Amino acid sequence: MTTQPSQATGASKPDMRQDHRTPVSWPVIVQVGNRLFLCQARDVSSRGAKVHPRERLEEGTVAQLHFHPPGKEPLDVPAIVSRSDADGMAFLFIGDRRPRLPLGLPG
């Protein structure tokens, strides 16, 4: 478990993530209904991704993430916005199966 500073107080709080996050720099298209947003994935894990948006979405928004990792096939993953902060939007993957993201790739 690591600690991260709280935005409000600057105090550290425990990082409760259970999955390792891999830093990446992948193009990702965030699709909400018929709207498309070209974004950049900042990190990914087996359960979710952090995305740097050009436009913020509300927490709870359901989206389809279209990842385009370099040198690999594109990957489509259903997700929901779990939070939004200064670093970007955190998406939690949803659905019956977890995606097989190519995490071993250089970012």
Q: 0.85 exceeded by the pTM?
A: no
Q: Where are the domains of the chain?
A: 18-93
User: Quick one: pLDDT band at residue 21, thresholds 50, 70, 90?
Assistant: confident
- Across the chain, the runs of DSSP E, i.e. the strands, are 3-5, 12-14, 22-32, 35-44, 48-52, 62-67, 75-85, 88-93
d(CA 75, CA 56): 22
Domain 18-93: give its CATH code. Answer: 2.40.10.220
Cβ(43)–Cβ(17) under 8 Å?
Answer: no
* Phi, psi values for residue 20, rounded to 5°: -70, 135
Each residue's pLDDT tens digit, 37-52 = 999 999 999 899 999 9
